[in-house]
Structure 1
């Protein structure tokens, strides 16, 4: 028997909702891409291109634990298309900021995901 609080939405609809909602909760000059995670129907892959001269690109995996809660994992950080050490202060600060935005986006979509 399925848990009553499981995520019950088509992954493509979820991707579309995230594509529409995430830019509204993020800092406006930053760009984001949202794709379905091919290996896990409860997960999305989010790439955030940081605005400015740093040319940072953050890859996150966002997994729905249930219909309301998401687990956000930083997968990779690149600068000028090269993976970098994500432990420096600027990258840490941006990472925390983006994780907060990803949680805000999930919250904004509660009505859709918690049907």
Structure 2
């Protein structure tokens, strides 16, 4: 039996509270469903918006003040408990590498869906 929409909405509301960090990193390894994060270059607090009963939008940007010697090769989203330091990876993707310098800005947007 499929999950009812009312429960999906509750899961989406809860998921939106579990996304509080967006990281870019320099680990170029292939992303899998068992990932736990990697070599962080920087992190921001993303904007999280509930789109509908089954999905949220997660967006974060890194402006010109973010400059790295290593290429950016991954992006990941996680929940981090401020009181305990515990973190729970939510999503990770390996991406085509690029150089983040003072001449560019990068924005990431993700739609996470509960199905």
TM range (shorter): 0.3 to 0.5
The structure richer in helix per residue is 1
Task: Name the larger-Rg structure.
Answer: 2
The structure richer in strand per residue is 2
Structure with larger RCO (C-alpha < 8 A, sep 6+): 2
TM-score normalised by length of structure 2 = 0.37
